[in-house]
Structure 1
Amino acid sequence: MTKKHYFIIPFLLFFCNNSFAQTQGEMNATANANYKKADAELNKVYKQLMAMLDQNEKPLLIQAEKDWVKFRDSHCKFDASQYEGGSIQPLIYSTCLEELTKKRIAEIKASIKDRDR
Structure 2
Amino acid sequence: MNEMIEKLGFVLLGALITGIGYLIKRKIESKPELEILDKHQKVLDIHKKMSEQGLDISGLNQFASMLTEKSSAVQSHVLDLNTKSVSHMQTSSIEHITQTEMNQMASDSYNRSLVKMNEVYAQLMSKLDSDRTEAYGSAQVKWNEYIEAHARSVADMYKGGSIYPLIYYSELETLVFERTARLQSELDELVSQGN
TM-score (normalised: structure 2): 0.50
Q: Identity of paired residues, percent?
A: 34
Q: In structure 1, what residue type is equivalent to 2:133?
A: K
Alignment of 1:1-117 (within 5 A): 19-20=93-94, 22-116=97-191, 117=193
Counterpart-to-counterpart distance in 2, 1:53 and 1:18 = 38
Structure 1 stretches of 4+ with a deviation exceeding 3 A read none
* Partner in structure 1 of residue 10 of structure 2: none
Aligned-residue offset at 1:56: 1.0
In structure 2, runs of 5+ residues without a counterpart are 1-90
- What secondary structure is seen at the aligned counterpart in 1 of 2:130? coil
Aligned-residue offset at 1:114: 1.3
Say which structure is richer in helix.
Answer: 2
Counterpart-to-counterpart distance in 2, 1:48 and 1:22 = 37
Aligned-residue offset at 1:19: 4.5
Cα–Cα, structure 1 residues 59 and 24, in superposed 2: closer, same or farther, change >3 Å?
Answer: same
In structure 1, runs of 5+ residues without a counterpart are 1-16
Q: In structure 2, what residue type is equivalent to 1:22?
A: I
Aligned-residue offset at 1:39: 0.4
Aligned-residue offset at 1:115: 1.1
Cα–Cα, structure 1 residues 67 and 33, in superposed 2: closer, same or farther, change >3 Å?
Answer: same
